[in-house]
A and B are shown apart, each in its own frame.
With several copies, the nearest count.
Chain A
Amino acid sequence: MAKVTLGGIEVEIDEDGFIQEPDKWNKEVAEDLAKVEQAYPMGEDHWKLVNYLRDYYLKYEIAPPIRMLVKQTGLDLKTIYQLFPGGPAKGACKVAGLPKPTGCV
């Protein structure tokens, strides 16, 4: 798998650009990923989403269901797609450094 430089450090990513070394994720990595996902510069709502995803994942080891995401962040799906044109799964989860979603989100 490819290695790329994100946030100044070298990180392994898969073909879809999801990072393969979850421990290396940080704010800067996120911002560089956001560039790829047309979600840069990241505003408050971007971070709200990304942080929520990340916290949820760290707590439960899974990505939250969309319904939960919408309810908890107060951002509706339309807005989420505006913030992350790739959508919650391809866009926001990638930026949040989560494993590539297979089901929910």
Chain B
Amino acid sequence: MGRTDIGPPDYREMLPDVIKKNYGKWKYHETPRPGVLRHVSETGDEIYTVRVGSPRLVSIDFVRDLCDIADKYCDGHLRFTSRFNVEFITDSKAKADGVIAEVNKLGLPVGGTGNSISNIVHTQGWIHCHSAATDASGLVKSVMDELYDYFTNMKLPAYVRIAVACCINMCGAIHCSDLAIVGVHRRPPKVDNEKIIAQCEIPTTIQSCPTGAIRRHPDPNVKSVIVREDLCMYCANCFTVCPAMPLADPVGDGVAIYVGGKVSNARKPPMFSRMVVPFLPNNPPRWPEVVDVIKKIVEVYADNARKYERMGEWIERIGWEKFFKLTEIPFTEQHIDDFTHAIETYRTTTQFKW
């Protein structure tokens, strides 16, 4: 048996010298061009960071390619960002240019800084998860191909942060994203009475349902459960605790779109993303319906928002009724909340736009 509980390597062993030296001494930064940050230290030192887009799901050879570049320009170090981008940190503009040239050769984009669309936070999807109601990587690729220019320039009014989660477990900060794409089911679980007894704890399964849709099987001889389908909103929480209750369905599954969330405390406090499209079908490999809506929203936002106004701030200013009008997205009964705090979302004023 090997060692245990050693924890990850100490980050101090992973820092390039220039950072060790200026740790905690940074004074200001600027963004000389999209994808490049210049940080200046109190010591007078400066560094250039080149931010590079990554598909996140990569082969080890991809990582080795990155290492080659880091060895050449960055003192043998590199880092990743909280949004899966790669950052090459160098101590001169010239080296930064070198990095840019090399990554471009590898077909990787430089960008994601400032008022851009950075990399999409996403999850496993059909690549690895049993819960997935859609794929993640494919959606990301399809969307980013379309929004590519927004990654490499900084012409948007403000940050636009996109996230994809392949089910409503929402791995990632997707519930607070400017744009969120979420895999959803639309069919209640099908109970497998054979398997349930060996694979599931009945009480846990019953308790897992937020709407109380799961009851014990009426026949006490059948050690299983039944689902009141009218109470089921397909959250799949039962499936999480009980494999014998699958919901995935080629036609039932698809994607919902949420908008207007944010995380930073700058200007407005953090906000949740809110549903603007209840359902779009899974249409791999390129999910054209999803891509179209996302693009439309980004464009309407880009045309209408004020400078430094995040998606949610913009919508709050103009009002949701105007948002639906401008984006031409149809408003449906699914948009109206009916969960626990629903009442707080109802418009208790005569103030609205037509």
Contacts and interface: CB of A to CB of B under 8 A. Distances in A.
Tell me whether A and B are bound partners.
yes
Interface of A: 14, 18-22, 57, 60-63, 99-100, 102-104
A87 to B, nearest CB: 12
Contacts of B198: 18-22, 99
A5 to B, nearest CB: 18
Contact of B201 (A14, A18, A63): A63
A5 B204 CA distance: 30
A99 B203 contact: no
A103 B199 contact: no
A102 B241 contact: yes
7 contacts: A61-B203, A62-B203, A99-B198, A99-B199, A102-B240, A102-B243, A103-B204
Interface of B: 195, 197-204, 240-243
Counting chain A CB atoms within 10 Å of each CB, which of B195, B198, B203 scores highest? B198
A103 B241 contact: yes
A20 B199 CA distance: 7
Contact of A62 (B199, B201, B240, B243): B201
Contact of A102 (B197, B202, B203, B204): B204
B197 A62 contact: no
A100 B203 contact: no
Given A20-B195, A61-B202, A102-B201, 6 more contacts: A57-B201, A62-B204, A100-B243, A102-B200, A102-B241, A102-B242
Contacts of A63: 201
B203 to A, nearest CB: 5
Contacts of A102: 200-201, 204, 240-243
Most buried by B among A19, A20, A62, A104: A62
Contacts of A18: 198
A60 B203 CA distance: 8
**B203, B204, B240: most-surrounded residue (chain A CB, <10 A):** B204
A34 to B, nearest CB: 18
A22 B197 contact: yes
Contacts of A19: 198
Interface centre among A14, A18, A60, A102, by most B CB within 10 Å? A102
A14, A18, A22, A61, most chain B CB atoms within 10 A: A61
B199 A100 contact: yes
B240 to A, nearest CB: 7
A61 B243 CA distance: 16
A19 B240 CA distance: 20
A30 B241 CA distance: 24
Contact of A61 (B199, B201, B240): B201
Nearest to A63: B201
Contacts of B195: 20
